[in-house]
Amino acid sequence: MHKTGSTSIQATFFRLNQNDLPWTYLNAGVPNSSEPLLNMFMEHPEAYQFNIKKGLDRDKIESNRKVFFKRFEEQIAASDKDFLLSAEGISELSEAELGRLSEWLGRFAGEVLLVGYVRPPRAYMESGFQQNVKGGQGIFNLQNLYPHYQKRFGKFEVVFGREAVHYWVFDTSSFPGGCVVRDFATRLGAKLADKQVVRVNEGLSREALSILYCYRKCGGAYGVGPGVIRENQNVITKLSELKGHKVRFSPDLVREVLLANQLDVKWMEERLGKPFAEDIEARSEFDIANEDDLLKCSPESLEKLRQWVGVPSSEPANTPQQVAKLLGQLRRALSERSSESDSPITCNQHNEAKEMTLTELFGKVKSAHPEQFETINDKKAVAILRAAFSEIKKEIVGTEDGVVKVPSLGNFRITQVEREVEGKKVVRRRVAFHAAVANSKKGD
């Protein structure tokens, strides 16, 4: 399911050296294979939300689709191991579309097993609501947030067979060290060191979510185009700095939803072999009982918003519309700052390109710092350099919009740039490198 630590699982295994794993982690250049697989197997990928947000036309979608097939199949052909493919988004595929996915997998695998963590309904609705608001929605309806387990999972059983589908309860209290990545690795026979585990937590506080919801509710649309994903992520990243209380719905609201879906809950509990161990009656004074509760922002969070925008404390923020206006100003300011820092790199087109092998690079490093290599042979040092650059490359490839910072080296800024080619607008990925200040030791 979504909201079960899948991002952390995917980021961890995407970045690991594949030689350290008992299987090959399939990917199309990004940790999460949801977008590639949905583009590959949806009957109408032009209706896929991320294609719409990016403003992609049919030609570009078809071009991407071919690239995704090629990348996956090249990896499959190059490995004799079992394969691991992670994509929570395939729950959005229809039964017929899953059938096409099954046929494709069947060309390469003698056996296909599906495993998925299942989150209890209240926790799922609370986390899913956050995700919806981040994604551009400004609608408060708990019935729409209910996970509908049978509709979500039943089609997998029809297409792949009931015996091929395995369900695991998402319960951090039962995981090794409370970590879903470690639990997943243990179940599949992989051993991870602490430093190998990547933990990604994108949750917003109750206070931050109220501000964002005011924006979505009162006209702050997600937008369409190559830069909107980055713009929205900039806002969410900034709001994540607002610490506060956990997002929770009132027990009365949750109970009403569960009562309407009790047969579906029973279906899922039968699959799990036990009831959900979730405290539906837990309460706090910060529980969200209705939309009006959500539209009320704390004075402290509004003051922080004013500071970010650069307006005085007297700037009105008494209504959701006024809060939305302030966040809109912040979005524009963050976008402008991002554009300014992404200054173009110029070069003399008549100069010849300089090429340096890793062996040559190591020679320069060793010459400048001989004391650092007294106890390591040259061959091993070159291998370390190769591994280091490989990891940097993975980080860059896995970042759609944003910055990969490498202390003492510099920043790699990744953006989606719209260009006109042969009369058509196309979106291309741009990576700009900004070198760190010379002799900087910060972060070493």
| Distance from C-alpha of 328 to C-alpha of 219, rounded to nearest angstrom | 9
Q: What is the pLDDT of residue 40?
A: 98
In a domain, 296, yes or no: no
Say how many domains are in the chain. Answer: 2
pLDDT for residue 421 is more than 50: no
pLDDT at 440: 42
Q: What is the mean predicted confidence (pLDDT) over 4-12?
A: 93
Can you give the pLDDT at residue 353?
42
State residue 344's pLDDT score: 43
User: At 417, is the pLDDT very low, low, confident or very high (cuts 50, 70, 90)?
Assistant: low
Range with the poorest average pLDDT among 38-47, 222-231, 238-247, 289-298:
222-231
Find the CATH number of the domain harbouring 393.
4.10.520
Q: How far apart are the first and last CA of the chain?
A: 38
Per-residue exposure over 268-287, b if at least 16 CB sit within 10 Å of its own CB, e if not: bbebeeeebebeeeeeeebb
pLDDT computed for residue 419 by the predictor: 54
The answer to whether residue 320 scores a pLDDT higher than 60 is yes
Average pLDDT over residues 6-19: 91
List, as one string, the DSSP characters of 297-348.
Answer: PPHHHHHHHHHHHT--TTS---SHHHHHHHHHHHHHHHHHHHHHHSPPP---
Residue 408 confidence (pLDDT): 77
pLDDT for res 367: 63
pLDDT at 364: 66
Provide the pLDDT confidence category of residue 290 given band limits of 50, 70 and 90: very high
User: Residue 55 belongs to a domain with what CATH number?
Assistant: 3.40.50
Q: What is the pLDDT of residues 76-112, one digit of tens each?
A: 999 999 999 999 999 999 999 999 999 999 999 999 9
Choose the weakest-confidence range: 8-17, 180-189, 409-418: 409-418
Among 156, 186, 203, the domain boundary falls at: 203
Asked if residue 347 has pLDDT above 60, the reply is: no
* pLDDT per position as a tens digit, 31-60: 999 999 999 999 999 999 889 988 899 999
Percent of the chain with pLDDT over 90: 63
Question: For 38-45, which contacts have Cβ atoms below 8 Å and span 24 or more sequence positions?
Answer: 38/89, 38/90, 38/92, 38/93, 39/64, 39/65, 39/68, 40/65, 40/68, 40/69, 40/101, 40/104, 41/93, 41/97, 41/98, 41/100, 41/101, 41/104, 42/93, 42/97, 43/94, 43/96, 43/97
- Asked if residue 166 belongs to a domain, the reply is yes
Question: In this model, does residue 441 exceed pLDDT 50?
Answer: no
Q: Is the pLDDT of residue 397 over 90?
A: no
In a domain, 147, yes or no: yes
Structure-block tokens of residue 408? 């003492």
Domain boundary, last residue among 203, 237, 265: 203
**Residue 317: inside a domain:** no
pLDDT category, 228, cuts 50, 70, 90? confident
350 domain residue, yes or no: no
- Please report whether residue 84 resides in a domain: yes
27 pLDDT more than 80 = yes
Q: Does 240 reside within a domain?
A: no
- Mean pLDDT for 297-304 is 97
Q: Indicate whether 140 pLDDT > 80.
A: yes
The answer to whether residue 190 is domain-embedded is yes
Q: What is the mean pLDDT of residues 404-426?
A: 68
Is the model's pLDDT at 259 over the cut of 60? Answer: yes
Containing domain of residue 72, as a range?
Answer: 6-203
Least confident of 13-27, 264-278, 357-371: 357-371
Q: What is the pLDDT of residue 428?
A: 65
Residue finishing a domain among 169, 203, 237 = 203
